[in-house]
Amino acid sequence: MLCWAMRDTLPSLGALRAFVLVAETGSLTAAAARLNITQPAVSRRLRELEAELGVALVRRGANALRLTEAGARYAAALEEGFARIRSATEALGEQSAAPLRVRAYTTWALRWLIPRLSRFSAHHAGLQVEVVTSTAAVDFARDPVDAAIRTAPGEAPPASRATRLQAVLVAPFAAPAVVGRRRSLAGLTLLGSRVRPADWATWFAAQGEVAPTAAPLVFESTSLAIQAAVEGLGAVICSPTFVAAELRRRQLVQLAAQAVPTGDHYWLLLPPAAPRPQAQAFRSWLMEEIAVESAPAARPGRSNG
């Protein structure tokens, strides 16, 4: 008998499958029908397997065959192994078909990601993207998501599988009817969000000015603050990207020539162990979108944010 513990190779999967089916059906003919091959082909696979193993697996009679004692033990072990392979394959298929769950901040998801998702879907037909929003730190061991977007200061990765996406730039915006021709912040209520409470201070520091003593009117999200600015309640501080549609429709105007960097960046986080291939594809697509947006020919108002 060959000492398989000392060998790196295994019998062919086709031969093993033929033997398991013969053991299951008790018939070369039935096994051949299941495999969609001829009966002599099944018989040949059995003989080759026995020769390779150096063990008789079946006893052939005039009208039937039966397993040897060693063959019965081997068949039981192989059936268990094939069942595990089948189960793992089905689970892999279910995972592949599952939607890609991406967690992000509400405003980034609503005003940057979702308007572009149709382009991702066009290149990845059949892959659905499910967007969930949260400002909490992601825990991939606990949270049922495949990828997450978050901000972090500086350029050092905040996690082991982190890809830097965009610098967070901000500028002030207000409704044309509110600012008139002067295009200044004078007399306007400052609008901000709880998610980014320091952006106004950052803005005034970049201008070499002292921030007003009156605290900004703060909303739960930047999206709410933007809508408040559209309604004429004051001036909002945010990324030009987030208000690109409002700028095109002349619902808002930018009250500064340039946006200023906050020192933060958006990052894409993937699970530290074995991200789904779909998540890797999502990362590649994000980088392509950002490269196009950052190109010199990109339309004004599409700067990173």
- Domain end position, chosen among 97, 118, 137: 97
What is the chain's mean pLDDT, rounded? 87
Query: What does the pLDDT average to over 64-83?
Result: 87
Query: Among residues 85, 72, 15, which one has the least CA distance to residue 49?
Result: 15
- Domain end position, chosen among 80, 97, 114: 97
Q: What is the pLDDT of residue 273?
A: 83
Place 6 in a pLDDT band, splitting at 50, 70 and 90.
very low
Name 149's bridge partners.
Answer: 268
Q: What is the pLDDT of residue 148?
A: 96
In the structure encoding, which two tokens stand for residue 128, read together?
């659905």
201/113 same-domain check:
yes
Q: How many CA atoms lie within 13 A of 265 on its CB side?
A: 14
20/162 same-domain check:
no
Cα dist. 301→58, 83, 244, 253, 291 in Å?
A: 76, 57, 5, 11, 15
Q: Kindly report whether the global pTM for this prediction surpasses the value 0.75.
A: no
37/108 same-domain check:
no
Name 169's bridge partners.
Answer: 261
195/285 same-domain check:
yes
CATH number of the domain to which 122 belongs: 3.40.190.290
224/123 same-domain check:
yes
DSSP state of 297: T
87/104 same-domain check:
no
Q: Which of the two residues, 9 and 128, has the higher pLDDT score?
A: 128
- Domain end position, chosen among 79, 97, 115: 97
Is residue 41 pLDDT above 70, yes or no?
yes
Q: What is the pLDDT of residue 125?
A: 80
Q: What is the pLDDT of residue 91?
A: 61
145: left (phi over 0), alpha (psi -120 to 50) or beta: beta
Contact 47, 35 (CB under 8 A): no
Say how far residue 51 (Cα) sits from the centre of its chain: 49
Q: Residue 89 sits in which domain range?
A: 4-97
Q: What is the pLDDT of residue 90?
A: 63
219/76 same-domain check:
no
- Selection from 7-11, 223-227, 270-274, 296-300 with the highest mean pLDDT: 223-227
What would the pLDDT profile of 231-289 be if each residue is shown by its tens digit?
999 999 999 999 999 999 999 999 998 999 999 999 999 998 888 889 999 999 999 99
164/302 same-domain check:
yes
What would the pLDDT profile of 177-200 be if each residue is shown by its tens digit?
999 877 789 889 999 999 999 999
Alpha helix ranges (H) inside 38-161: 39-53, 69-97, 106-108, 117-123
Name 172's bridge partners.
Answer: 237
103/222 same-domain check:
yes
228/275 same-domain check:
yes
CA distance 94 to 92: 5
CATH number of the domain to which 77 belongs: 1.10.10.10
Domain total in the chain? 2
User: How many CB atoms are closer than 10 A to CB 141?
Assistant: 8
70/200 same-domain check:
no
Query: Among residues 235, 237, 248, 222, which one has the least CA distance to residue 301?
Result: 248
90/160 same-domain check:
no
Query: b/e string for 211-241 if b means 16 or more Cβ within 10 A?
Result: beeeebebbebbbbbbbbbbeebbbbbbbbb
Any idea which residue has 């189960």 for tokens? 87
